[in-house]
Structure 1
Amino acid sequence: MMAGARLSLALLCLVAAALTGGAGATRKMVGVYVLRKGDFSVKITNWGATIMSVVLPDSKGNLADVVLGKDTIAEYVNDTSYFGPVNGRVAQRIARGRFVLDGKVYHTYINDGKNAIHGGHRGFSKVIWTVKEYVGGGDSPYITLYYHSFDGEQGFPGDLDAYVTYQLSSPYVLAVRMNATALNKATPVNFLQHTYWNLGGQGSGDVLGHTLQLSASRYTPLDEELLPSSGVVAPVAGTPYDFRAPTPIGARIRQVMGGRIAGYDINYVIDGDAHGMRKVAAARDGASGRALELWANQPAMQLYTGNWLNNTKGKDGKVYGQYGGVCLETQGYVDAVNHPEFPSMTVRPGQVYKHDMVFKFSF
């Protein structure tokens, strides 16, 4: 608890220093930016390049926010649930926070038991991104954010320039484009967008009744530490992980363990060309009629069902219980830096990492 309190205080001081131009701080303003196209709107903050809200109609025309989150920036600074940010430099887990690249051993910040997760305690979700471009309305409202990750940050090698663009288009489409360039050293890169979705509206209850379909006939079994220690890629057929046909999220959720708790927290291997845009997932809430299709160009996707939410304070006085949202996190393979049998996530100087996602909503 004391370590967590010290971290929260340090992060609040970092924001305060940035806002006031404190000693040694580059003056960066933390703000909230709205993208709006008719009755479809998305709210973004440059703290962690975070999606704060997505508002759209249901089948009866009623508007609701379908993203879990917080009311204030200060609450996002203290957030440990990763509500809506971009995670990096390497999202998901790195076993023992250690990897070898080009014969050199690197040690990253350990912040999940014995392992590293989501880039360390000050990953990309806990920094201020620079707003490079912002157009709030019109035919294709968008915002582009930039972050320079320095050599040695959280233990990762080399300087890295990172960008993320959020853009709206018709009808009810949110595109997310993430890219990064390694400037002077080879480095692993694996970005992840960590939004929790509840198509019935944030705080409306659990998502166990949502139907889910995944374009994934294989998955990587994870151990109790949520690491692919076996290095095995296994078929989903005959397991509770099979979502090839539309299936309620809650149908078999008690049969699986996301680490030490019941629920999904598992990495799927997406069928098709590992580098091409293809349909990854489709989810639907029967009560509201809202549906979501996710398209992406990454080889894998982590399915997380909010297993650790436990009367968690959310937005607008709402409280999120267990399974209050579902995360569909396109990514590289978990802990690929320690598994040569998995597709590499190494980006070499001059190379560009590209991660594109498209969320298509309907009702």
Structure 2
Amino acid sequence: MARAPVFLALLCLVATLLASGADARKMVGVYMLKKGDFSVKMTNWGATIMSIVLPDSKGNLADVVLGKDTLAEYVNDTSYFGPLTGRVAQRMARGRFVLDGKVYHTYINDGRNSIHGGHRGFSKVIWTVKEYVAGGSSPYITLYYRSFDGEQGFPGDLDVYATYQLSSPYALSIRTNATALNKATPVNFLQHVYLNLGGQGRGDVLGHTLQLFASRYTPMDEELLPSSGRVDPVAGTNYDFRTPTPIGARIRQVSGGKPGVHGYDINYVIDGAGMRKVAAVRDGASGRGLELSANQPAMQFYTANGLNDTKGKGGKVYRQYSGFCLETQAYPDAVNHPEFPSITVRPGQVYKHDMVYKFSF
């Protein structure tokens, strides 16, 4: 992707908003949520998490989120460092689906398929800041986006809200909801934050221990699509993390989607239903841990296989396995698999996706 045209487009957009006297809440900005020595920095460009800072077991602070230094770099980013993705996150085969007998074609931006809502999905738009409380006992920010009928090929207008809130002890909750206003539409969001509990830019995450509360997964083809529609048990496979296991223990035995690339980029079916524990991760060196809970049926586990000497924050360079993503979601490509749980939201219905990242040290 060319950098200059995208950045110039953002500058033109900002200039237009300024000239029209637009509300400052619709400008691209950076917002800090802070509670003691725990802080999260965000931007309303793509509802993106830019940093999460917290202590280690010795009280040393570090930022555990991979990302960029400037807003311009986030605008040009193609690695999805920290945004909320949609209208339909993850891959969609051939960028097409059929809903109520009508064929829809969405923007193709991943080989022959679409990914994360198209080239201008929710990660590449300006969200409106509806409420913002920087400090206090529960600092939070609520962002809003109106997705219009036909945007990236999706039907119907959609009202979207996302609230990021800090609570004690060291917990970040993300609550999202979306209301279909006038047409049935598929909806699936995910939060694409890359984490390294040792600190961003401080080596790989292969020594982190991971436990997933998932006894099944959806096998992927060479395009990272669940084309078979199967849901298989993880028992006896290299995808079994039901007991705490180093991320790197079997990483060379799994395909990262491209020839010669190894790593995890796989969807798990989470055991149980409703708001429940999805994953637990710990970095022995720093003592930091993470427990993730969510109310979605599935989760994509990604080990940053696509990072290759990627420029990061503070002069750091990110290589393969520099971070991991735990992306709670619906089943990938559910629009083309009637055997998977439906992601269709009909007019007046509300999609809800909640996550809680609880850190410890």
Distance 1:37 1:161, change over 3 A: same
Q: 1:219 aligns with which of 213, 217, 220?
A: 217
Aligned pairs for 1:185-224 (under 5 A) are 185-224=183-222
1:329 aligns with 2:327: yes
CA distance in 1: counterparts of 2:248 and 2:163, whole angstroms: 33
Deviation, 1:13, is 3.4
CA distance in 2: counterparts of 1:26 and 1:93, whole angstroms: 35
CA distance in 1: counterparts of 2:154 and 2:21, whole angstroms: 22
Q: Which runs of 5+ in 2 are unaligned?
A: none
Q: CA RMSD in A?
A: 1.2
CA distance in 2: counterparts of 1:50 and 1:266, whole angstroms: 23
The CA deviation string for residues 223-273 of structure 1, in whole angstroms up to 9 with x for no partner, is 000000000000000000000000000000000002112000000000001
Q: Which residue of 1 aligns with 2:354?
A: 356
Mapped contact 1:18–1:29 kept (Cα < 8 A): no
Distance 1:187 1:26, change over 3 A: farther
Helix, strand or coil for the counterpart of 1:208? coil
Aligned amino acid, residue 265 of structure 2: D
Mapped contact 1:214–1:281 kept (Cα < 8 A): yes
Q: 1:13 aligns with which of 8, 16, 21?
A: 8
Mapped contact 1:17–1:25 kept (Cα < 8 A): no
Mapped contact 1:85–1:195 kept (Cα < 8 A): yes
Mapped contact 1:18–1:25 kept (Cα < 8 A): no
Q: 2:298 aligns with which of 284, 297, 300?
A: 300
Distance 1:26 1:228, change over 3 A: farther
Q: Which residue of 2 aligns with 1:88?
A: 86
Percent identity over the alignment is 81
Distance 1:221 1:26, change over 3 A: farther
Aligned amino acid, residue 361 of structure 1: F
1:133 aligns with 2:123: no
Q: 2:237 aligns with which of 236, 239, 243?
A: 239
1:265 aligns with 2:265: yes
Q: Which residue of 2 aligns with 1:340?
A: 338
Distance 1:139 1:111, change over 3 A: same
Helix, strand or coil for the counterpart of 2:46? coil
Q: Which runs of 5+ in 1 are unaligned?
A: none
Aligned amino acid, residue 20 of structure 1: A
Q: Which residue of 2 aligns with 1:100?
A: 98
CA distance in 2: counterparts of 1:19 and 1:152, whole angstroms: 24
CA distance in 2: counterparts of 1:182 and 1:129, whole angstroms: 18
CA distance in 1: counterparts of 2:263 and 2:238, whole angstroms: 11
CA distance in 2: counterparts of 1:142 and 1:243, whole angstroms: 33
CA distance in 2: counterparts of 1:247 and 1:51, whole angstroms: 27
Q: Which residue of 2 aligns with 1:172?
A: 170
Aligned amino acid, residue 215 of structure 2: S
**Count, aligned residues:** 356
The CA deviation string for residues 137-183 of structure 1, in whole angstroms up to 9 with x for no partner, is 00000000001110000000000011110000001000000110000
The CA deviation string for residues 310-335 of structure 1, in whole angstroms up to 9 with x for no partner, is 11100011111110000000000000
Mapped contact 1:18–1:26 kept (Cα < 8 A): no
Helix, strand or coil for the counterpart of 1:17? helix
Deviation, 1:16, is 1.5
Give the TM-score taking structure 2 as reference length.
0.97
Aligned amino acid, residue 189 of structure 2: F
Mapped contact 1:240–1:256 kept (Cα < 8 A): yes
Aligned amino acid, residue 282 of structure 2: R
The CA deviation string for residues 195-222 of structure 1, in whole angstroms up to 9 with x for no partner, is 0000000000000000000000000000
CA distance in 1: counterparts of 2:227 and 2:316, whole angstroms: 38
CA distance in 2: counterparts of 1:214 and 1:93, whole angstroms: 22
Deviation, 1:24, is 8.8
CA distance in 2: counterparts of 1:241 and 1:73, whole angstroms: 36
CA distance in 1: counterparts of 2:119 and 2:21, whole angstroms: 19
Distance 1:170 1:215, change over 3 A: same
Aligned pairs for 1:152-167 (under 5 A) are 152-167=150-165
Aligned amino acid, residue 29 of structure 1: M
Aligned amino acid, residue 251 of structure 2: I
Q: Which residue of 2 aligns with 1:116?
A: 114
Give the TM-score taking structure 1 as reference length.
0.96
Greater alpha carbon shift after TM alignment, 18-27 vs 67-76: 18-27
The CA deviation string for residues 85-116 of structure 1, in whole angstroms up to 9 with x for no partner, is 00000000000000000000000000000000
